[in-house]
Amino acid sequence: MPRPLEGLKILDFTHVLAGPYATRVLGDMGADVVKINSVERAVGANDPLHPYYLMWNRNKRALAIDLNNESARETCKALCETADVVIDNFSVGVLDRWGVGYDQISPTNKKVIYVQMSGMGDGGPWSKFVTYAPTIHALCGLTHTTSVGDRQDIGIGFSYNDHQAGLHGAVAILAGLESLRHSGKGQRIDISQFEVGVNFVAPSLMDYFANNTITTPAANDLPYDKIAPHGIYPCTPTDETTKGENWIAIACMEEAQWLAFKTLLGNPEWAENDKLTTMIKRYENRRDLDERVANWTKQQDAYELMETCQKAGVPAGVVQSGADLAEKDPQLKDRKFLFAFDELHKEFGQTYGDKLPIKFSKTPCESYKRSKSLGEDNDEVLRDWLNLSAHEIEKNKSEGWMT
């Protein structure tokens, strides 16, 4: 049974995480994604042996082209003229300098959709900035919003905004295709990864616009709701986890949940104190409350406590590591979310992945192919996309622009 995007041809110039994640989502849904790379560019996260590359470039075919070569640029132009979608996350203007930008291709490929996922977007005084997750997080307000207490130097170490930009890229392509279906015309789509990040601090902006208030970092507290207990609490340590630590998140969002949690605590005398009789009072005295809750959770196994809390109607979740997700999590195991690729990787042997977290009842997306080595699909792609003969493909190889 075909997947939803079977037949869609995407030429992928992206690198690192944001762009590759966008095209991975579409490749999982059946699009024919051709990943452009070269010996010169195959370094760092663009190296097929890099963990990022392994994770974000499955379900794609690999084509190696040296775009410093004039003959290679002509072939690349032909590929763009055949593509339904061309996507990159270079700085603005790179594809134009190679002669394969939207303005150069759209006169002959009028239905093509170009997606440019630059750090700052096309235009503005910062449009030429070089950006990575830490700088985007800092500029867009995420670092400030997610810090601890009065500090502004912690934030998110993980590439949160790259993932969000990738999802925006996938949605933009689908929207462009829907527009094409109605109008018959392609278009260029400009995505600012910086602006994607600003979207996620919108409550802070609203607070400033409405109240002239600068939101301060709130750590595990909710910034705009007075809720307690609402935090991360220690559990019984074990030798199985990093540093032997185990933690659990508990959030009593309403009075009924607090009453249920208080019962689990054994209705201790301190929990009946007048200072804890309402949500507002619990919030005002949350530091003392957190300490008392932590003294209790320290005596509990994290997973057993989570199950107990959930059965009692108290929202709770173990702070899981990657190892926990792979080895302990019964939910992921039941839904077969983590899997081993059927085909062994040429360099690493058995590799593993996480499935597309979207289940289609009529067009299931359950086909997963490992990431490919540099230029592994050169012959196949040039034959399928451009109808080149074996002799023509060999000629391109002899001219030195393919691996």
pLDDT at 325 over 80: yes
| Rounded Cα gap, residues 279 and 194, in angstroms | 37
The predicted pLDDT at position 158 comes to 85
Confidence of residue 176 (pLDDT cuts 50, 70, 90): very high
pLDDT at 229 over 80: yes
The predicted pLDDT at position 241 comes to 60
Domain ranges of the chain: 9-199+336-398, 230-235+242-320
| CB proximity list for 51: less than 8 A, separation 6 or greater | none
Which residue of the set 12, 66, 162, 290 is catalytic? 162
Mean local confidence (pLDDT), 288-309:
97
- Cβ atoms within 10 A of the Cβ of 393, count? 18
Confidence of residue 398 (pLDDT cuts 50, 70, 90): confident
Mean local confidence (pLDDT), 172-195:
97
The predicted pLDDT at position 395 comes to 83
| CB proximity list for 243: less than 8 A, separation 6 or greater | none
pLDDT digits (tens, 9 = 90+) for 100-154: 999 999 999 999 999 999 999 999 999 989 888 889 999 999 898 888 877 778 8
Mean local confidence (pLDDT), 343-357:
95
User: In this structure, what DSSP letter does residue 372 have?
Assistant: P
Q: Give pTM, 2 decimals.
A: 0.93
The predicted pLDDT at position 363 comes to 96
C-alpha to C-alpha distances, 335 to 78, 307, 355, 358, nearest whole angstrom: 42, 19, 10, 12
Q: Which fold has domain 9-199+336-398?
A: Rossmann fold (3.40.50)
C-alpha to C-alpha distances, 263 to 118, 229, 234, 266, 268, nearest whole angstrom: 53, 14, 19, 5, 9
Query: Could you check whether 9-199+336-398 and 230-235+242-320 share the same CATH topology?
Result: no
Q: Which fold has domain 230-235+242-320?
A: formyl-coa transferase, domain 3 (3.30.1540)
Average per-residue pLDDT in the chain?
Answer: 93
Mean local confidence (pLDDT), 41-68:
94
C-alpha to C-alpha distances, 269 to 241, 262, 292, nearest whole angstrom: 34, 10, 12
162 is an active site residue: yes
115 contacts 173 by C-beta, under 8 angstroms? yes
pLDDT at 182 over 70: yes
Decide: residue 264, CB within 10 A, 0-12 exposed, 13-18 middle, 19+ buried.
middle
The predicted pLDDT at position 392 comes to 86
Share of the chain above pLDDT 70, in %: 99
- The whole-angstrom distance between residue 359's C-alpha and the CA centroid of its chain comes to 18
| Rounded Cα gap, residues 111 and 85, in angstroms | 9
Confidence of residue 28 (pLDDT cuts 50, 70, 90): very high
pLDDT at 265 over 80: yes
Confidence of residue 282 (pLDDT cuts 50, 70, 90): very high
The predicted pLDDT at position 146 comes to 86
pLDDT at 93 over 90: no
pLDDT at 403 over 70: no
DSSP string, 96-113: HHTT-SHHHHTTT-TT-E
Share of the chain above pLDDT 90, in %: 78
